[in-house]
Amino acid sequence: MSELITNIGELFTGSSGILRDAALVIDDGLVAWVGPRTAAPPADTVFDAEGAAVVPGFVDSHSHLVFAGDRADEFDARMSGQPYTAGGIRRTVAATRAASDEELAAHTGRLLDEALRSGTTTIEIKSGYGLTVEDERRSLAIASRFTTETTFLGAHVVPAEHQPAAYVDLVTGEMLDRVAGLARWIDVFCDRGAFDVDQARTILSAGAARGLGVRMHANQLGPSGAARLGVELGAASVDHCTFLSDEDVDALAASETVATFVPGAEFSTRQPFPDIGRLRDAGVRYAIATDCNPGSSYTSSMPFCIALAVREMRMTPTEALLAATAGGARALRRTDVGHLSPGARADVVLLDAPSFVHLAYRPGVQLVRHVWQHGRRTTA
C-alpha cells in the first residue's frame, strides 16, 4: 500500500534541503518519492497536510528508559541550590531491582508512547539501573522489546555492595557474558563519582572485543579526559560534553566520533550549557538527545531539547533540527533514518505549524500532529 502526503507547505528533508509546496510518497514502510506537489506520482491513498511543515522523525540516540520510581525530591532540592551528583543513581537502582519485569516493561512502554507523540521514531535505550547480572540482563531484554538500539551500561556507578575493582571484573566478565547477545552497544559513565578513564578503557575494550559498539557518558561533571578516550577507542558517540577542553574539541574534530549534547540535563541540573560556537568552527559532528532518565533529565521530548539547543547552546533552528535527526542517526551509525530521501525509512513528522522553526520558536507547545513510523501513522 502506498500513501501520498500532499500539500506539504515546507518539507525539511535533512538531506537535500527544504522543499516548499511539496509532496512525499510512502511505499512499503519506506520513502519512495519526494518532490514538488504538482509532480507527485499517484498512490493508493492520499493524506492532505493542509500546508503544514513536515520533518524527519527524531532520532533520540541517548535514553535510560528502563527504570522504576522517580526522583522529583532531588530535582526540588537542586532548584534550591543542591548540586547534581552521580550518587542519586543508586536510589533508582534500588527501585528498579524491586520492580517486576511487567512493571518495568509497562513503564518503559509509557515513556516510549510519550516520546512517539513528540515525534521520536528511533530511540536508543540503555540498561544501567540494575547493576547485577540478572537485573542488567532483564533491563536489556525489556529494552530489546522496544528497540534494536540497546546499550549495556553495567558501568553506570559501582553498586553499594561492591568494591570498584571487583565490580569492574564482574562487568567485564560474567555480566558481559550474559548481556552480549542483547546489546548493540556498550557505554560507561566516566566521570567523578562513577568510573575513571582507566576503568572505562578496560570496560569499553572488553565490550568492543565482544563485538559491541562503543559510546560513552563523557565530560558531564568536569573535563575528565573521557571524550578523548572515546575518540581513542573509535566511539560512535561521546555524550553530554558539557565541559570540553580545546584539546577535546580538536580530537573530536579529527575523528568520526559524534559529540552528543543532552541539553535537558543542563536544564535539569542547572549546569552551564555548552556553546556550539567552538565545535561548529572546529568542524565537530554533533547530535542532540534527551538523555531521558529520572535523575538528570526527565524529559522524553526532542522538541524541548531542540528549543534548548537553539536558545541556550546558540544553535540555529536548522542546526538543531539536523542534530536531532541526521545527527542522532550518525551517533547510532545509521543511514536509514534521520532524513527523508527515497529509500529511507518512512519516519515522518507532520507539525501543527507552517515551518520547522516553530519547534524552537514555540517552546513547550505540542506541535506534533501526526507521526508515521516505518510508514504507519499515529495521531499525536
Applying CB under 5 A, the residues found at the interface with Fe ion are: 291
Residues 290, 292, 297, CA angle at the centre, nearest 5°? 85
**Smallest gap from residue 295 Cβ to Fe ion (A):** 9
Scanning 21-29, 201-209, 228-236, 288-296 for contacts with ligand NIG by CB under 6 A, the matching segment is: 288-296
| 237 touches ligand NIG (CB under 6 A) | no
Cα 285 from Cα 61, distance rounded (Å): 14
Per DSSP, what are the bridge partners of residue 189? 217
Count of chain residues binding ligand NIG (CB under 6 A): 12
Scanning 41-49, 101-109, 198-206, 286-294 for contacts with ligand NIG by CB under 6 A, the matching segment is: 286-294
Parallel, antiparallel, or unpaired for β 120-126 and 58-60? Answer: parallel
Cα 205 from Cα 223, distance rounded (Å): 21
Given a contact cutoff of 8 angstroms between Cβ atoms, the answer to whether 295 and 84 are in contact is yes
373 known member of a binding site = no
Query: What distances in angstroms separate CA 233 from CA 151, 187, 195, one per listed residue?
Result: 16, 12, 16
| Identity of the residue, 269 or 373, whose beta carbon is nearer to ligand NIG in the bound complex | 269
| 215 touches ligand NIG (CB under 6 A) | no
Residues 308, 338, 48, CA angle at the centre, nearest 5°? 95
**Smallest gap from residue 142 Cβ to ligand NIG (A):** 17
271 known member of a binding site = no
**Smallest gap from residue 243 Cβ to Fe ion (A):** 15
Scanning 168-176, 289-297, 320-328, 343-351 for contacts with ligand NIG by CB under 6 A, the matching segment is: 289-297
**Smallest gap from residue 8 Cβ to Fe ion (A):** 35
Cα 16 from Cα 22, distance rounded (Å): 13
- Options 112, 168, 227, 265; binder of ligand NIG; rule CB under 6 A: 265
Task: Tell me if residue 12 falls in helix, strand or coil.
Answer: strand
**Smallest gap from residue 192 Cβ to ligand NIG (A):** 10
Cα 235 from Cα 228, distance rounded (Å): 10
Query: What distances in angstroms separate CA 217 from CA 24, 129, 166, 308, 380, one per listed residue?
Result: 37, 15, 21, 20, 31
Extended beta strands in 313-364, E state: 348-351
62 known member of a binding site = yes
Cα 107 from Cα 101, distance rounded (Å): 10
In the numeric block, the cell 532520532 is attached to: 59
Cα 36 from Cα 23, distance rounded (Å): 6
99's contact among Fe ion, ligand NIG, none, with CB below 5 to 8 A by partner kind, is none
Residues numbered 69 to 128 that lie near ligand NIG (CB under 6 A) are 88-89, 92
220's contact among ligand NIG, Fe ion, none, with CB below 5 to 8 A by partner kind, is ligand NIG
| 291 touches ligand NIG (CB under 6 A) | yes
| 219 touches ligand NIG (CB under 6 A) | no
> Half-sphere exposure of residue 8, counting CA atoms within 13 Å on the CB side?
30
**Smallest gap from residue 307 Cβ to ligand NIG (A):** 19
162 known member of a binding site = no
| 217 touches ligand NIG (CB under 6 A) | yes
- Options 75, 189, 356, 372; binder of ligand NIG; rule CB under 6 A: 189
- Options 295, 317, 327, 338; binder of ligand NIG; rule CB under 6 A: 295
Q: Is 153 exposed, middle or buried (0-12, 13-18, 19+ CB in 10 A)?
A: buried
Binding site residue list for 4-imidazolone-5-propanoate: 71, 129, 156, 220, 296
Q: Which residues are annotated as a binding site?
A: 62, 64, 71, 129, 156, 217, 220, 291, 293, 295-296
Q: Which residues are annotated as a binding site for N-formimidoyl-L-glutamate?
A: 129, 293, 295
Contacting residues toward ligand NIG, per CB under 6 A:
88-89, 92, 189, 217, 220, 265, 291, 293-296
